[in-house]
Structure 1
Amino acid sequence: MPQLRLRVTGNQDNARAIGNLLASIDGIEHVEEVADLMPRMDDEDSTSAGLPDDQGPGTHELEVEARSQAAVGRVREAVEALAFDLDVLVEFETDEDWHDA
């Protein structure tokens, strides 16, 4: 079963909208927001705490299981269109990308 990971750079509402879109696409078996496993080096006592660079939009990792490669193609097209409308950044990673690394 093909898998696809998406990294959404935007607020929680944008990530939820993309998740809802994914759940509505024919051929999608499962959509889940997965925890970000990368530890952040933000320290509340740091001299850089609270600077504008630390106050940007969040990132959200979504994992999608599809029935077929055709469904993965539909996901890419639909998410790209919605991301453009929402003015958010979306990065795609397929299970093939994981095996190549």
Structure 2
Amino acid sequence: MTMIRLRATGTRTGFDALVAALHGVDGVERVEELADLMPHMDDDDSSSSGLTDDRGGDLHALEVEAPSPYADSVRETADDIAGRYGLVLEYVDEF
């Protein structure tokens, strides 16, 4: 079994489409969004505090479990959906 971990930066709509598409990939055993455990601190002393340009897209963490032969299909599907919805994906070994 292969565990694919990725971070997706972008809109919630795009992320939801990514999760739905990954659920549809043959061989996928589990798709799970992980809670964000990092505190988000806004420096009140910063001149850019609270500005819209100071905030990027939403960051989402996702784990996908699939047998090894299906891992490439999972990545290809994720990359395709990311391109359609303007998501930026980062594949990581651990969160």
Q: TM-score, normalised by structure 1?
A: 0.80
Unaligned runs of 5+ in 1: none
Higher helix share: 1
Q: Which runs of structure 1 show a deviation greater than 6 angstroms over 4 or more consecutive aligned residues?
A: none
Instruction: Kindly provide the amino acid, as one letter, of the partner of residue 18 in structure 1.
Output: L
Q: What aligned pairs does 1:38-77 form with structure 2 within 5 A after superposition?
A: 38-42=38-42, 45-47=44-46, 48-66=48-66, 68-77=67-76
> Are 2:21 and 1:21 equivalent residues in the alignment?
yes
Unaligned runs of 5+ in 2: none
Task: State the SS of the aligned residue for 2:38.
Answer: coil
Instruction: Kindly provide the amino acid, as one letter, of the partner of residue 61 in structure 1.
Output: A
> Are 2:4 and 1:4 equivalent residues in the alignment?
yes
Aligned residue number for residue 33 of structure 2: 33
Q: TM-score, normalised by structure 2?
A: 0.85
Q: How far does residue 29 in structure 1 lie from its aligned partner after superposition?
A: 0.4
CA RMSD of aligned residues (A): 1.6
Aligned residue number for residue 81 of structure 2: 82
- Work out the CA distance in 2 between the residues paired with 1:14 and 1:37: 21
- Work out the CA distance in 1 between the residues paired with 2:58 and 2:78: 18
- Work out the CA distance in 2 between the residues paired with 1:46 and 1:71: 48
- Work out the CA distance in 2 between the residues paired with 1:2 and 1:31: 12
Aligned-residue identity in percent: 44
Q: How far does residue 46 in structure 1 lie from its aligned partner after superposition?
A: 4.6
